[in-house]
Structure 1
């Protein structure tokens, strides 16, 4: 059984570079929230200069996967306290990444907006490329 609900999405990412500098990015979009077999999914698209990026966020109780396709192809996996293998397809080939998740929150929209939050360190070739804090708030469009 699948439930699909139109939602408005606000995504905020705070990236802390290894040198300590910070960058904050915010994206607002519309999408859909789907519940299937007790797993929540958010689906949305974002328009970038390179083209449209389709994103699916699969949220379970203690882990999540973000799949991006289209102009950007990426797979990020998160599980609290664990290192997870991930990948990013660049013009030079597939790059292996590792996420080290330090915080994970997932709340579905009942009385308040739904929230997906993950804080993680990102490594490429064994080197830290920064610390990320991503929050996605989503609420039903009425």
Structure 2
């Protein structure tokens, strides 16, 4: 069952990811537009990221104290976050499917449903194919775009 457009709120999304691999620190920032909606007991944030290779569609599902990020398109990825848990995921690369794990150290979810506004902050250790890939701090801010 698809969510009707009237049930969705247009939002401005800012995603900041800081990566510390022990040798260097890098920060990536994305500002785009997307939509926020509720379905059952979950909240969803959807947005697209334009890359040179094509478009990446991202869905962020928030339910209670759990966050699931699904990316599809030129990049396919599944990231699952549960506080103080190590959760499996995957990343489809040009070289094949890589198994990943996210060891979530901190997760703060703050949102106001009535105004489609919020912030998700996640600090996690990222593991790819069993090898540590660094400490990641991701912030997702979103706010309703009023006309």
Query: TM-score under structure 2 normalisation?
Result: 0.90
Question: 2:143 aligned with 1:139, yes or no?
Answer: yes
Give how far 1:107 is off: 1.6
Larger helix share, 1 or 2: 2
Question: 2:93 aligned with 1:90, yes or no?
Answer: yes
Give the 3 Å change call, closer, same or farther, for CA 67–32 of structure 1 in structure 2.
same
Give how far 1:47 is off: 0.4
Aligned to 1:128: 132
User: For residues 116 and 70 of structure 2, what CA distance do their matches in structure 1 show?
Assistant: 26
User: For residues 68 and 111 of structure 1, what CA distance do their matches in structure 2 show?
Assistant: 25
Give how far 1:17 is off: 1.0
Residues 18, 129 of structure 1: 8 Å contact kept: no
SS of the residue corresponding to residue 108 of structure 1 reads: strand
- CA deviation digits over 1:69-102, x for unaligned, max 9? 0010000110000000000011221100010001
Aligned to 1:34: 37
Matched residues, number: 141
Residues 111, 118 of structure 2: 8 Å contact kept: yes
| Partner of residue 66 from structure 1, selected from 65, 69, 74 | 69
Give the 3 Å change call, closer, same or farther, for CA 59–112 of structure 1 in structure 2.
closer
Residues 61, 106 of structure 1: 8 Å contact kept: no
Runs of 4+ in structure 1 deviating by more than 6 angstroms, as ranges, are none
Give the 3 Å change call, closer, same or farther, for CA 6–125 of structure 1 in structure 2.
same
Gaps of 5+ in 1: none
